[in-house]
Amino acid sequence: MYIGYDVKNGVEYAKLCTSKRKGKETTKEYENLGRVLDKEKGVYHSRSRGVFSYDLATNAYSSAPDGFVAPSRGLAKERLILDFGDVFFLDTFTRKEGLRAAIDSIGYGNPDTLYAMISFYILCSLANCHANDWWGGSYARILYKEASLSSQRVSEFLLTIGDEYSQREFFKEYFRLLDGTPGGALGNVLIDSTGLPNSIHFPLTAISNHNGEISNEARLMYVVQQGTGLPIYFRYCPGNVIDASTLVRCLSELKAQGVNTKFAILDAGYYTAENIAELFENKISFVTRLKENLKVYKDIVREHLDTLERGENLVDYNGRYVYLKRVPCQLHDHAAWAYVGLDIERKSSESRKTFRKAKDKKMTSEQVHEAIHKKGVFILVSSRRIAIDKVLPLYYTRQQIEQIFDIGKNYADMLPLRVQTEETFRGHLLLTFLATVILKKIQDKLKTTTISPMSLFLNLRNQKCKVYEREIITQEAFKKANDIYKLFDMECPVRIDF
């Protein structure tokens, strides 16, 4: 038995030849293997089997080797014109921003698959089962030609990059990159969490009651660098775990990986005696908001509310006037500072709502007074003494982390969740983290323009390229695409050899 080859119209075909002896006569039987894709590796293509491998020594058929891609001359006719600008831009941008070293440190065996999937998460909102279809019509097919994006391969890919070792190696290199980032120390952070609603049957999905909202979800915690607004770390936990219990572990994990938190801005949900003690013990300065049901909140309001509305306490914050008073306080036997505030606009709005309901509820004047007396009041607490005119701008940098969650959920394919195991869930979260970092950096560059990231990629995708035997020729970019290239200091090539 041997393999024979024929060439028809410039295309090489293979057939399996078997000699059989009947008496004195010898006959030959032939079985078509199909078009030869790689003679050395024994890879063929036929209508019945698709792309497959055949081993003559064992007479065995099997799937094509991992990462195998048919030669470019096998591109279907309709694939000769591909989307170009969006993938070219992403590849160039990650190189210019120095992100490739961190991405490569994940150590995935097929880097083309890794980079193709990052691009897919940013550029396409469809399920992962469509990744191969997207790749087939994009410049990613040429740039990441070894990518293996079938549904089964993508699941295996997520499983692999979800490995703890791979993620530690990534964060080690990523922290090194951020340590030299202008605009903020790595140890000055914002911390918050968000829910990831889903109906997946795995231990992380549980009923959550977060700020009065009931949902079936997993919880995702992000740590964001205060100076740059870039996400620097993530953790996850079951949906029924309360936020307060996750803070100590998050800070401990960061410390174990060489990041010593110096200053943290926290959501009110993280305020507990244990967390406050941990922050003071580790000399981590912090700012957070007190919830109204806490005894310390009630005590401070009782003592200082009547002296709050005075001229010396009036400050202008972001176009709004707020009464704000700094007073010393005790937080679980630790000396700290409280900032008692009264948002005038919020009090006015909430008071009007109370007035409208007062008659229907037949409230007395004393009841109305009591109801509106504490409207618009809030208290921030800090371990350090902060200037009155700086505490509100400092605390409301928390909005940066809300922006990060918005990017992740709406533009980086964080939701909906389309995984089935915790291991692939971890890989999915790492991909969305990488996509969010890239999108945040792009968004920062667009601040002085009217262009959104979505508009940017739509305009770039309109630039196509023509694929030839050994080169591609890019098509002329429209004005908007040219403006984007200029803004990001990129030069689009006319010709790219491959």
C-alpha distances in Å from residue 250, one per residue of 49, 64, 254: 50, 43, 6
Other Cβ atoms less than 10 A from the Cβ of 157: the count is: 25
Tally Cβ neighbours within 10 Å of residue 11.
11
Q: Which of 15-24, 42-51, 354-363 has the lowest mean pLDDT?
A: 15-24
Do 18 and 8 contact (CB within 8 A), yes or no?
no
CB distance 218 to 238 below 8 Å: yes
Residue 182 is given by DSSP the state T
Residue ranges per structural domain of the chain: 2-65, 75-284+386-498, 290-382
Does residue 157 contact residue 117 with C-beta atoms inside 8 Å? yes
Report pLDDT digits (tens) over 305-342: 999 999 999 999 988 899 999 999 999 999 999 999 99
264-285: pLDDT as tens digits: 999 999 999 999 999 999 999 9
Q: Whole-angstrom Cα distance, residue 405 to residue 439?
A: 12
Beta bridge partners of 43: 38, 53
Amino acid at 214: I
Separation of alpha carbons 195 and 218, rounded Å: 6
Sign of CA dihedral 303, 307, 312, 316: positive
Q: Are 279 and 258 in contact (CB under 8 A)?
A: no
pLDDT at position 381 over 60: yes
Partners of residue 34 on adjacent β-strands: 14
Q: What is the dihedral of CA 423, 424, 429, 432, to 10 degrees?
A: 160
Higher per-residue confidence, 27 vs 247: 247
Note the pLDDT tens digit of each residue in 468-490.
Answer: 888 899 999 999 999 999 999 99
- pLDDT the model gives residue 183: 55
Q: Is the pLDDT of residue 25 over 50?
A: yes
Given this model, what pLDDT does residue 7 score?
78
Query: For the segment 455-469, what is each residue's pLDDT rounded down to a tens digit?
Result: 999 999 999 999 988
Mean pLDDT of 137-158: 95
* Angle CA 89–93–97, to nearest 5: 180
CA angle, 403 as apex, 399 and 405 as ends, to 5°?
115
Q: Are 98 and 177 in contact (CB under 8 A)?
A: yes
- Residues 187-228 pLDDT 10s: 899 999 999 999 999 999 999 887 778 889 999 999 999 999
pLDDT band at 73 (very low <50, low <70, confident <90, very high): low
Mean pLDDT calculated for residue range 245-261: 93
In angstroms and rounded to an integer, the radius of gyration of the C-alpha atoms of the chain is: 30
Q: What is the distance between the alpha carbons of residues 101 and 90, in angstroms, rounded to a whole number?
A: 15
Q: Above 50 in pLDDT, residue 383? A: yes
DSSP class of 446: T
